């Protein structure tokens, strides 16, 4: 990834890189999404991985102790796993203290704050290292104004949470850059912030300032500049729709891309909430998004087809594209469908 443009420093201070990726004692791959995201999108920023249990999941990076990682140039240990409660279990403390004592900062995107753990606070003070919680928003966020800003913006939205918005926007930002378009990826979640080195942890912002935080994340820019903004949640999620709406209003996107995972039938973890249709998600994002950008439009659909074979995925996406009258592509598989999605988003067609 390119270095973030300077104003990102006003959002989250740039993180000390490169990283040693910590996998804790987690045995469930689903909990190691941050580690996998770092491996996939910031491989050159990861010197290795470290865990504190022999059967912990692996991100396939070279195994290293904190001291070895420090010697290899690492500046921070990044917590690459999350457990359901977002807490820091007792079983990790020895390993985290070891990292601090080895001269590494600790970067965490968990709900629990590093500063709240006395053993870490003490070790950080002793070693002169920093405890960095990327979920802690900056203190100077203003209430949103709704003022139209210069430059262009793309936002990922979803039929649900946790189905590929981050990967989709990282791939779209990369494709824009490959077309030599002046582009910034704007991270809105902890993994995205770790990957890009800056951003705004939208789900940790106080509700009154949610739209204002999104305005701050994508400031005025050159007319031909694109901010590609990572999405969060779904307007159809009974817990997280407030995050999605504040992000939509504050981002005032010119274009949005609907992210969807074929086969998902209900909101993740909530069997009583059926997944909305793609058409419903398009319509509702236009209805609500036009409050701050009357010209908002859908650029296409990003499918997460990781559960399907290449042939199945291609056939499904061709069928859905025809049905919806919009490009449908898997940003990870790339190919002509993805090129069509990029072209549609840019408005060249």
210 lines the binding site for a copy of itself (CB under 8 A): yes
To the nearest 10 degrees (0 to 180), the angle between helices 310-324 and 278-289 is: 50
212 lines the binding site for a copy of itself (CB under 8 A): yes
186 lines the binding site for a copy of itself (CB under 8 A): no
d(CA 183, CA 172): 10
Residue 194 C-beta: closest distance to a copy of itself, Å = 18
DSSP-derived pairing of the beta strands 19-22 and 46-50: parallel
Cβ atoms of residues 20 and 200 within 8 Å: no
Contacts of residue 72, Cβ cutoff 8 Å, sequence gap at least 6: 47, 48, 64
Q: Binding residue for a copy of itself (CB under 8 A) from 22, 36, 41, 236?
A: 236
Q: Binding residue for a copy of itself (CB under 8 A) from 181, 242, 316, 324?
A: 242
Q: Binding string, 266-305, against a copy of itself, x = CB under 8 A?
A: ----x-xx----------x--xx--xx-------------
Residue with Cβ nearer a copy of itself (189 or 262)? 189
Backbone phi and psi for residue 255, each to the nearest 5 degrees, phi listed first: -140, 140
243 lines the binding site for a copy of itself (CB under 8 A): yes
**Which tokens hold the place of 35?**
């580690």
Total of residues contacting a copy of itself (CB under 8 A): 34
Residue 144 C-beta: closest distance to a copy of itself, Å = 4
Q: Binding string, 187-206, against a copy of itself, x = CB under 8 A?
A: ---------------xxxxx
In 113-205, alpha helices (H): 118-127, 165-178, 190-196
Q: Which residues of 86-123 are buried (b: 16+ CB within 10 A; e: fewer)?
A: eebeeebbebbbbbbebbbbbbbbbebebeebeebeeb
7 lines the binding site for a copy of itself (CB under 8 A): no
Residue with Cβ nearer a copy of itself (28 or 291)? 291
């Amino acid at each position: 990834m390119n270095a973030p443009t300077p104003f990102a420093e006003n959002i989250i201070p740039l993180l000390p890189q490169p990283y040693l990726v910590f996998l804790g004692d987690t045995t469930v791959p689903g909990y190691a999404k941050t580690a996998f995201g770092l491996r996939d999108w910031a491989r050159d920023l990861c010197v290795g991985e470290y865990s504190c249990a022999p059967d912990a999941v692996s991100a396939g990076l070279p195994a290293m102790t904190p001291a070895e990682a420090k010697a290899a140039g690492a500046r921070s240990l990044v917590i690459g796993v999350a457990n359901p409660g977002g807490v820091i279990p007792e079983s990790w403390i020895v390993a985290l203290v070891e990292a601090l004592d080895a001269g590494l900062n600790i970067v965490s995107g968990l709900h629990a704050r590093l500063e709240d753990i006395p053993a870490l606070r003490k070790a950080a003070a002793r070693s002169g290292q920093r405890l960095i919680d990327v979920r802690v928003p900056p203190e100077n966020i203003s209430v949103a104004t709704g003022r139209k800003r210069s430059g262009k913006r793309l936002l990922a939205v979803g039929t649900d949470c946790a189905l590929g918005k981050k990967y989709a926007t990282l791939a779209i930002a990369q494709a824009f850059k490959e077309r030599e378009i002046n582009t910034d990826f704007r991270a809105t979640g902890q993994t995205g912030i770790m990957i890009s080195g800056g951003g705004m942890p939208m789900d940790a912002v106080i509700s009154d300032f949610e739209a204002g935080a999104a305005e701050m994340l994508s400031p005025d820019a050159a007319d031909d500049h694109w901010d590609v903004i990572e999405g969060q949640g779904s307007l159809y999620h009974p817990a997280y729709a407030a995050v999605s709406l504040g992000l939509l209003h504050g981002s005032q996107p010119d274009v949005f891309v609907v992210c969807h995972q074929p086969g998902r039938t209900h909101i993740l973890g909530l069997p009583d909430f059926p997944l909305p249709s793609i058409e419903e998600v398009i319509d509702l994002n236009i209805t609500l998004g036009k409050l701050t950008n009357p010209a908002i439009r859908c650029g296409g659909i990003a499918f997460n087809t990781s559960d399907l074979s290449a042939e199945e995925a291609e056939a499904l996406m061709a069928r859905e594209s025809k049905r919806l009258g919009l490009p449908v592509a898997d940003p990870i598989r790339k190919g002509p469908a993805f090129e069509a999605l990029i072209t549609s988003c840019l408005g060249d067609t």
